[in-house]
Chain A
């Protein structure tokens, strides 16, 4: 690969990384190796075995292994080793035909249907669904009755039958990509459709097609073997399925003949399926590992090394020297480095900073709900006097809901779409407060009324997708209030809402806080919200608190340069930018 040319050079590392990931995945390497071995042996069949697979020598029927005939002879006295190799040619060759037919029908039609849509999409989709509803085996049997017992013709039919699986795969991905902004941009910049499909669309579908090909190859091989096993294929052609059929007829006399074709079929299909799933890991999702909450919990335990030089600790929430890191060992990355925070009862503390400054990570570590891979690596968090760093999960859970509550940022994705609003509100109250179903439902309605929802009964019975974003945020606030917490962690509670709804939700938060004497940790990047709501502010930048003080002090006399930059960025009476002036070719300028 040439490193001098900038364009291939930019692509090369990713490709190299993929091949390295492939080589490092033992499942991928081993299954690919097995397939190469089988394919090679089958291709070299005439060299590996000199016997004619069809030559019968009746005197040798059921004879055991002898020199030159390592697997012995079958019921008709034919060499099993030779039949196995030549049979593999027909079995795998048949599967290749089916694959070729399926790919050449499924991929182009999927591309066209996904990219252009319209009538072709509707028609092709209908045909695809119809073909998928046909049981392949039964249709193959039927077409054998009509088209005659030629294995190769049946494989073409099989190819047509499995083509919809490629069609659906490609169509789905292409329709998604079609809606992406970069494809729109390519169209706007005048690229032809053919070029867009070649450059932007094919790249996305390549990996899924490779994976699907491996899976469909396995299906084609097993269906083909099944047909031959039933004695439906071309009678005299040696295939693994036909060998199984012959062995099955003599299964009482010498069952060992089932072993070789069975093994060949089993190993080939297994290698294909394993290769497909390994390829999926390598090509698609590098981090598709199952979350392991237990390991994360174990990792979260860290020594609380507290230094009390940050002043006296508040009674409700007190964070000292908090560090959050992702990963482990030398590759660990710290995202929060030594944060100190205090929230007293009845106080609203604003935690401000730009995106990526570690605000949300700090909030999540107080709640003990850091995402997979993250952990509190240092420091102390006191919640209502309880040290929660290293606290066992069960004891921690006892704090969530009735001591600390959480209001998330994005209302619509934070409600379980499969349950009604009511049941989601009732569930924690029944579990945490031990209320009866009726009492919990009444309390939930009361809460919905308190968060100023006009028709609580309708919302109670609605599903999340039936209510608006502002309503959903009110529901989430009601949920956070349901078990009478003392500390509320609100992570950008208004960012995802319309401006008018924002004001209402902030007003609601302020009222609830005042009524209940809540302590609030309000994570936000909006200084207007801070000025409006917060008693004190902590300014966060790059994982550190750079300044903490009473709100008006911070806003009026920022001490840290970063705070000044933040405030300057939103000043209302800052001078407007001068009109843009286009330079003219002769050097003079004209306002546009």
Chain B
């Protein structure tokens, strides 16, 4: 009994040394075991004793990386948005070109696709510039139109680009015919950009009638859609009546146009 008490006293007195000896022994044991066992010990320690500091460390590191990740994602998002916008633009262009391709086969004359690269300064569009010229076999007087309808004619040709006189030019006059009643009229533009048709007061023309090119005048082939009569003021006491026309192709939204490679049937008047 005395011996037991003595041992307890000794342990209390030397507990520091005992614990130290145990810990050193454990350290040495860890140092000399095989690597696979060391891995197991490390895994055990990380998942038990050091689980809390390990989780705190991971959490703090994750938060630290968040701002960096945020910047990276923002950059990537911007890049992807740009790509999506480009793809959308390509899809729209693709649809437009598909339509143009189908439209191209409807005509007896060769058709050439060209792009608008400029227009006249001022409030009302009267002239546009296209990126094709003499080198692309574009010549004066060739009709210009889109899948929706007539646009105008080539008025000046340079080597690499050309100018197109639009229907909305007050100097332009176009012979048109009613698709329903076959009544002839002359399409012109007023100074404020509004389109009008001049017909005989007794002609059978009503609002809603579609006008197409008549084929007279030697420039435009017959049958190209031009516009719809939106309003007609008839005055039986006058010889001529005037009707407002809504063009089928909005002049302001032109991007690509067709040029019909058709020379004029005869020259009525030329600037050159």
Q: Do A and B come from one complex?
A: no
A-to-B contact residues, CB < 8 Å:
none
> Which B residues lie at the A interface, using CB under 8 A?
none
